């Protein structure tokens, strides 16, 4: 016999416990797109306690949509090391250009992260960043449904030694931080430089240079890195997203 209320209790008990475990984390990542997932894996694989808060119901950000809705992405030579690490299959299109199924990529990135104990909490938006003595020391989260309904419901805070903005084109954490008085980022203007027009070669090169700390204890990865530092977008080529995630993980591990 299946008791309905036992199902309810199981959901509440485990759901609450999962969220509670995130309240003191080593690293909080906002966004479960390819760069956030890659960063989480390379941190958690080395024992770092990582949580990803994802606003959407689904994970993967822009990855599962591939290019114009075909579930295909392109990976360049440099990205193959990470593709192989996750056991993702690929085909050579022509020398230096490889195609992969974007749904397989997303599924395997998520599986790799979860197998290494990354906590992924979906339907949860990072709506603010905490700053104490000139450094970020955590984030402020709320349920996405509350945000969408525009209800005035107070959020809760999560402590983290390091925070990663992996929110893609929107650069949400950087934008949120800049709303606060007296804040400057480590960009030339001190603000968000804005994304440049499509140029895959340049965009994929710059992304690794742009993956860095933008405010004490706050790092940026993926598309957000190019948007913050004014580098080009690059269309459905994804090696840079994965490499950027790996790089931000390495930068943070040096400091933990
Ligand atoms: C919690 C949030 C919040 C928030 C947003 O867009 P993404 O896939 O980001 P990346 O950088 O990992 O990958 C970029 C890639 O998908 C892409 O767009 C490319 C390559 N474009 C090239 C081009 O030319 O257009 O994922 C970001 C994730 C999404 O799932 C959002 O829902 C989530 O972040 N998110 N989560 N709190 N405040 N804001």
Q: Quick one: which of 54, 103, 35, 36 has its CA closest to 241?
A: 35
- The CA distance from 172 to 5, in Å, is 39
Q: What's the full length of the chain, in residues?
A: 256
Residues with Cβ within 8 Å of residue 72, at least 6 apart in sequence? 66, 99, 100, 101, 102, 236
- The CA distance from 207 to 91, in Å, is 24
Kindly give the distance from the C-alpha atom of residue 5 to the centroid of ligand 1, in angstroms, as a whole number: 37
- The CA distance from 43 to 144, in Å, is 26
Query: For position 254, what pLDDT does the model report?
Result: 98
Kindly give the distance from the C-alpha atom of residue 56 to the centroid of ligand 1, in angstroms, as a whole number: 10
Any idea which residue has 């591990």 for tokens?
253
Architecture per CATH, 25-253: 3-Layer(bba) Sandwich (3.50)
pTM: 0.98
Tokens of 32: 């479960």
Kindly give the distance from the C-alpha atom of residue 13 to the centroid of ligand 1, in angstroms, as a whole number: 30
Tokens of 232: 């080009």
Per-residue pLDDT tens listing for the chain (256 residues): 999 999 999 999 999 999 999 999 999 999 999 999 999 999 999 999 999 999 999 999 999 999 999 999 999 999 999 999 999 999 999 999 999 999 999 999 999 999 999 999 999 999 999 999 999 999 999 999 999 999 999 999 999 999 999 999 999 999 999 999 999 999 999 999 999 999 999 999 999 999 999 999 999 999 999 999 999 999 999 999 999 999 999 999 999 9
Query: For position 101, what pLDDT does the model report?
Result: 98
Q: In what order do the strands lie in the sheet with 97-101?
A: 72-76, 97-101, 91-94
3-state helix, strand, coil in the chain (%, to 5): 40, 25, 35
Query: For position 105, what pLDDT does the model report?
Result: 98
- The CA distance from 143 to 210, in Å, is 30
Query: For position 39, what pLDDT does the model report?
Result: 98
Burial class (CB in 10 A: 0-12, 13-18, 19+), 175: middle
- The CA distance from 74 to 102, in Å, is 9
Kindly give the distance from the C-alpha atom of residue 169 to the centroid of ligand 1, in angstroms, as a whole number: 6
- The CA distance from 81 to 253, in Å, is 20
Any idea which residue has 């290019």 for tokens?
67
Which residues does ligand 1 sit against, CB inside 6 Å? Answer: 30-36, 53-56, 61-63, 125-126, 166-170, 172, 198, 222-224, 233-235, 238, 241
- The CA distance from 220 to 248, in Å, is 8
Q: Sketch the domain layout of the chain as residue ranges.
A: 25-253
- The CA distance from 227 to 171, in Å, is 7
């Amino acid at each position: 016999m299946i008791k309905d209320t036992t199902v309810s209790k199981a959901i509440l008990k485990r759901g609450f416990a999962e969220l509670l475990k995130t309240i003191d984390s080593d690293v909080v990542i906002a966004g479960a797109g390819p760069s956030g997932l890659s960063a989480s894996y390379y941190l958690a694989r080395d024992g770092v306690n990582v949580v990803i808060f994802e606003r959407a119901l689904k994970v993967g950000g822009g990855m599962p949509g591939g290019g114009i809705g075909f579930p295909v992405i392109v990976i360049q030579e440099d990205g193959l090391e990470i593709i192989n690490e996750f056991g993702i299959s690929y085909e050579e299109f022509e020398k230096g250009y490889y195609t992969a199924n974007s749904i397989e990529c997303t599924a395997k990135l998520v599986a790799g992260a979860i197998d290494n104990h990354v906590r992924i909490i979906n339907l949860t938006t990072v709506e603010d960043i905490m700053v104490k003595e000139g450094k970020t020391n955590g984030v402020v989260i709320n349920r996405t449904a509350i945000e969408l309904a525009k209800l005035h419901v107070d959020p809760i805070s999560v402590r983290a030694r390091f925070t990663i903005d992996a929110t893609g084109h929107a650069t949400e954490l950087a934008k949120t931080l800049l709303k606060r008085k007296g804040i400057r980022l480590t960009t030339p203007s001190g603000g968000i430089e804005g994304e440049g027009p499509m140029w895959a070669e340049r965009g994929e090169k710059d992304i690794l240079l742009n993956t860095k700390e933008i405010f004490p204890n706050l790092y940026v990865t993926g598309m957000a890195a190019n948007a913050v530092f004014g580098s080009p977008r690059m269309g459905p080529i994804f090696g840079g997203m994965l490499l950027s995630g790996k790089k931000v993980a390495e930068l943070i591990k040096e400091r933990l």
